[in-house]
Structure 1
Amino acid sequence: MDTFHGSYVHVRKSKLAYNNLDGEIPRNLTGLQSLGYLDLQSNKLTGSIPDSISYCKNLTAIILRLNNLGGNITQSLGSLSKLQILDLYSNSLSGHIPVELGNLSSLHTLYLDDNDLEGNLPKELGYLIKLKKLYLSSNKFNGSIPETYAQLVNMEEFVVGGNNLSGKIPNYFGNWVNLTKLILIGNNFKGNLTAETFSLPQLKLL
């Protein structure tokens, strides 16, 4: 992929999914300030997510799933205040989840599953009160699920299986009345699920 030039300054949607695109995402994205939707899923992209993506202030969706992206998740994503969907599923991303993602107050969908991410789950994700879908499975996360996640009362799908998480299963799951999917398999949790969790009205998969 080559650099986006000035002639693309008014592009609002970029849908290049399901192709054979390879190489890196362009480093220079400063000319795409009108871009609101970026979908590059299911290609062969390599390299890291460029810091310059923070210049695309109107982005509401970034969909990069099913590529070969590596390196750390850039903390510059945390400045995209309009972002609603961040989908980085099934890449080779490493390092920690940047705490700056806790600034994404409009975010309702976050897919970080099937990568090589590690460390503790940041408590800052608990500030994302609009979050409905959080997928963190098949990584190398450890520690416990933060108490701040009790604020995620709009959660519908919470998937953290296949990590090294530990500690007690949070009681506040029983307050997530919209929850349809709760996946905790393949961790080191202890304790009991509350009766309130088992009786959640929308729960379909536990």
Structure 2
Amino acid sequence: MGKLEELKELHIWKTAIREIPACVGSLKKLQRLDASDCSSLVALPDSISHLKNLWLLDLSGCSGLCTLPKSIGSLVKLQRLSLSGTGVSIDLRFDYRIPNSIWKLEWLTQLKLSYSGICKLSKSIGDLKKLEFLDISHCEKLSSLPSTIGKLGNLEELDASNCKNLGGEIHVDGLSSLKILRLSSTGVSGFHGTFDKVSCLEQLMLDDCHMLQSLPELPTSLTVLEVSGQHRTFPKLSRLSHLRKLTVKDCPLLKSMPKLSRLSHLRKLTVKDCPLLKSMPKLPLSLLELFVCNCGELEELPSLSRLELLLKLFLESCGELTDIRGLEGLKSLGWLTVSKCWKLSNLDGLGHLESLRDLCLLSSGSILKDDQVRGFEKLKNLEKLAVAGCESLVRVDVSQLTRLDRLSFRGCCKLLEIKGLERLKNLITLILAGCPIDTLPDLSCLHNLELAWVDKRSNIT
């Protein structure tokens, strides 16, 4: 037993053990106990309280564990505790609950309760003064957070995302060290207090928060902002000079976006499911990725001609959009997808996108004109080309697109001919469906071609 008493780490994860034996209490020097994913584990011994040097206890994934010993508060050096995915809960109808002594773990810095059965957090959580990370995500029974959450002055990250029943206001006044706040897919309605003292906040995730009515003035330290809700207007974002990623999603009442041109560090902008949005503001030159999706009333985009750093452009289900201005100026664009933009009648400037590697035009109607199709030959870096539902496409010459490894034409009801297929030595995937092509050249020279899905009306000669 002498050697065991010197043990500092004990790992029993993914075993079929039902109980940890009481003799574990004799391991006086034990610092780490990892029993994660022991789904058959149903109990911990009271003797665990003798482990005065234990600083990590991982019980995540122990789905059969419903209780903790009351003596757990005696683990005076415990810093990291994970109860994620356990049956441990706080429910007055049952005897299964987190013992109050857990809130006496004054050295605790990390507490993980995600996917657990908790339905209530004690006000005593405010006594965990050293807590830096709190994960209560995916706790579907949790309906509110105590106001004492605002006393956690050392808390750096709070994750309450996907707590579907979580509502009310979140107290933020005292969270002076908070860097990351995740409240996505919750029913929170707002914030108690202001963000004035939350001067370290870098990431604020509020997407799929349909009860959120408004946003207070946000701290200038933000680098990531994801937001949704019943907003008619947004607070000014021009102050957020460090913002790198902005997501505006599921805002059914939003008709206009705030000014963005001064956000000189903005790299990624996503605007999705904003059915009343009619226009977009001038975009910052720093933008690398632009995604606009399901904005049915959007009539125009600002000119993109100055976005020379833009790498990705994705436009989908913007039924009123008629034009993409400045496409020819996107010198760095490598990825372009246009889908279900029914009124978009041309892609002027497409032939100038010499950096383009991935082009996807889906349900595109009459988006491609003959002169634009001829411009394909300039896209010599293109590796993937997919066109679907283009009603005006008759003949395509792909002979110059020698880097293509995937080529797909679907539902192009007037497409009669594809020239130059035999020259595409790198082609791996060829898909032709719903196109009235009469013949195809001999493709036996394409040794890398693994799949050819061809409509029955077509013949490979």
For 1:184, the equivalent position in structure 2 comes to 183
Matches within 5 A, 1:57-72: 57-72=52-67
1:147 alignment partner AA: S
Give distance in 1, aligned partners of 2:77 and 2:55.
Answer: 5
TM-score (normalizing by structure 1): 0.81
User: Residues 154 and 35 of structure 1: is their aligned pair in 2 closer, same or farther, counting only changes over 3 Å?
Assistant: same
Give distance in 1, aligned partners of 2:45 and 2:165.
Answer: 29
For 1:39, the equivalent position in structure 2 comes to 34
For 1:147, the equivalent position in structure 2 comes to 147
Give distance in 1, aligned partners of 2:127 and 2:203.
Answer: 26
2:11 alignment partner AA: K
TM-score (normalizing by structure 2): 0.39
- Secondary structure at the aligned position of 1:107 is classed as coil
For 2:77, the equivalent position in structure 1 comes to 82
User: Residues 170 and 199 of structure 1: is their aligned pair in 2 closer, same or farther, counting only changes over 3 Å?
Assistant: closer
Give distance in 2, aligned partners of 1:72 and 1:129.
Answer: 24
Q: List alignment gaps of at least 5 residues for structure 1.
A: none
Identity %: 28
1:163 Cα deviation from its structure 2 partner: 5.1
1:87 Cα deviation from its structure 2 partner: 1.2
1:59 Cα deviation from its structure 2 partner: 0.7
Stretch deviating more after TM superposition (63-72 or 189-198): 189-198
Give distance in 1, aligned partners of 2:110 and 2:191.
Answer: 28
Give distance in 2, aligned partners of 1:147 and 1:195.
Answer: 14
User: Residues 81 and 167 of structure 1: is their aligned pair in 2 closer, same or farther, counting only changes over 3 Å?
Assistant: same
More strand, by proportion? 1
Q: Which runs of 4+ in 1 moved over 6 A?
A: none
- Which residue of 3, 8, 26 corresponds with 2:20? 26
1:194 Cα deviation from its structure 2 partner: 5.6
Give distance in 2, aligned partners of 1:171 and 1:11.
Answer: 42
CA deviation map 1:44-66 (0-9, x unaligned): 44212333211212111111223
Work out whether 1:53 is the aligned partner of 2:54. no
1:103 Cα deviation from its structure 2 partner: 0.6
Give distance in 1, aligned partners of 2:4 and 2:16.
Answer: 20
Give distance in 2, aligned partners of 1:178 and 1:199.
Answer: 7
2:10 alignment partner AA: S
Work out whether 1:10 is the aligned partner of 2:12. no
For 2:100, the equivalent position in structure 1 comes to 99
For 1:129, the equivalent position in structure 2 comes to 129
1:113 alignment partner AA: S
2:21 alignment partner AA: R
- Secondary structure at the aligned position of 1:138 is classed as coil
Stretch deviating more after TM superposition (129-138 or 21-30): 21-30
Give distance in 1, aligned partners of 2:39 and 2:166.
Answer: 31
Stretch deviating more after TM superposition (196-205 or 107-116): 196-205
CA deviation map 1:57-116 (0-9, x unaligned): 211111122333321233321111110010121223333332211110100000111112
2:53 alignment partner AA: N
2:160 alignment partner AA: V
Contact 2:175 2:198 in 1 (8 A): no
- Count of aligned pairs: 196
- Secondary structure at the aligned position of 1:149 is classed as helix
Contact 1:62 1:86 in 2 (8 A): yes
- Tell me which structure has the larger Cα radius of gyration: 2
For 1:196, the equivalent position in structure 2 comes to 195
Give distance in 1, aligned partners of 2:64 and 2:197.
Answer: 38
Higher relative contact order structure (alpha carbons within 8 Å, sequence separation ≥ 6) = 1
Work out whether 1:164 is the aligned partner of 2:158. no
1:134 Cα deviation from its structure 2 partner: 0.6
1:197 Cα deviation from its structure 2 partner: 6.6
User: Residues 70 and 167 of structure 1: is their aligned pair in 2 closer, same or farther, counting only changes over 3 Å?
Assistant: same
For 2:413, the equivalent position in structure 1 comes to none
Q: List alignment gaps of at least 5 residues for structure 2.
A: 90-95, 206-461
User: Residues 192 and 13 of structure 1: is their aligned pair in 2 closer, same or farther, counting only changes over 3 Å?
Assistant: closer
1:147 Cα deviation from its structure 2 partner: 2.5
